[in-house]
Amino acid sequence: MPVFLIIFVIVIAIILGNIKIIPQAKAAVVERLGAYKATWKTGVHITFPFIDRVAKVISLKEQVVDFPPQPVITSDNVHMMIDTVIYFQIADPKLYAYGVESPMLAIENLTATTLRNIIGDLELDGTLTSRDIINTKMRAILDEATDPWGIKINRVELKNIMPPKDIQDAMEKQMRAERERREKILQAEGEKKSAVLIAEGKKESMILEAEAEKQAAILRAEAKREAKIREAEGEAEAILKVQNAIAEGLKLISNANPSEKALTLKSFEALEKVADGKATKLIIPSELQNLSAIAATFKEAAAENKE
């Protein structure tokens, strides 16, 4: 009885030992009698005792490898150290298990040689300013080279580019000189803009002053013209009033039907006003040249006025 119990326990242990549970994001490469049999994904699987075995359990998650700095030489013979970071993922567990021995060492060596080839075609300045181009080229080359190994290269990044100490000092001096040059250019541009603004301000001020003087002259001319117009209108109005008064006087005289003697007297009075100390010559009408006639006319007119 104990023998059968022992055998039963052994059988149960063997069965339980051949039950394999593959967790999430894992894959198992199974061999039967030393040959590849299948690739198991997530779930429960059972191997055949003493015949099947799990050769390798592989992670399917994205992995990151930081390789140590590698010595490279640029096309202008500058020695420097560059370290890289590789982001990769196992795309085919079977190829990864049987494609290459020590896949990480193979990727590291492949990365170093690829980096040297790319940097060897670039100068120092191009290397420092072309990180994205270098990363893209390396990813494409490494991804194609690792396809037979079941590895997919997702991204390649240059972590650090370390030129020699003397090159770094020269670069710092160059950067300092460039910053000083830009500062001087900015200062000169600022002074230039300031001078331009000042000149434009003076120009606009002079233009405004000229415009103000022009407007003032126009206003003065307008004022003088209006004054002259008003003066002329006043004179015209005065002349009109005088003419109207004369017309009214003539009308009154005409309506009064004066005698010839009265008209002669009025003519004499007008002649007296004309010769009011200002005239040097006086032309007397022929009718008035006879003084006796003038006197008689005057007396008669006076007598009529008394009547």
| Same domain, residue pair 294 and 238 | no
**295: confidence class by pLDDT, cuts 50, 70, 90:** very low
Give, for 247, the enclosing helix (H) or strand (E).
helix 165-256
| Same domain, residue pair 253 and 273 | no
| Adjacent-strand bridge partners of 87 | 64, 155
| Same domain, residue pair 155 and 70 | yes
What confidence score (pLDDT) does residue 139 get? 92
Euclidean distance between CA atoms 159 and 161, whole angstroms: 7
**Residue ranges of E strands in 60-197:** 63-66, 70-73, 79-90, 151-162
Q: What is the mean pLDDT of residues 298-304?
A: 50
What confidence score (pLDDT) does residue 300 get? 55
CATH number at residue 103: 3.30.479.30
Residue 198 has pLDDT above 50, yes or no: yes
Contact 90, 58 (CB under 8 A): yes
Structural domain ending residue among the three candidates 163, 191, 214: 163
| Same domain, residue pair 128 and 173 | no
Residue 161: closest CA among 192, 126, 194: 126
Measured over the CA atoms of residue 245, residue 251, residue 256 and residue 261, the dihedral's sign is: positive
Give, for 216, the enclosing helix (H) or strand (E).
helix 165-256
Bigger pLDDT: 251 or 135?
135
Instruction: Kindly state the tokens that stand for 61.
Output: 């998650």
| Same domain, residue pair 184 and 228 | yes
pTM attached to this predicted model: 0.54
Non-local (6+) Cβ contacts of 159 within 8 A are 66, 82, 83, 84, 85
pLDDT in tens, 201-236: 888 888 888 888 888 888 888 888 888 888 888 887
| Same domain, residue pair 31 and 72 | no
| Same domain, residue pair 239 and 290 | no
Q: How many domains does the chain have?
A: 4
| Same domain, residue pair 241 and 186 | yes
| Same domain, residue pair 251 and 263 | no
Expressed as residue numbers, the domain containing 253 is 165-257
pLDDT in tens, 11-67: 777 777 778 888 888 999 998 888 888 888 888 888 888 888 888 888 899 999 998
Contact 302, 264 (CB under 8 A): no
Euclidean distance between CA atoms 241 and 228, whole angstroms: 19
| Same domain, residue pair 240 and 272 | no
Instruction: Kindly state the tokens that stand for 83.
Output: 């370290």
Structural domain ending residue among the three candidates 220, 242, 257: 257
What confidence score (pLDDT) does residue 278 get? 53
Structural domain ending residue among the three candidates 163, 196, 211: 163
| Same domain, residue pair 244 and 307 | no
Euclidean distance between CA atoms 228 and 53, whole angstroms: 127
| Same domain, residue pair 214 and 240 | yes
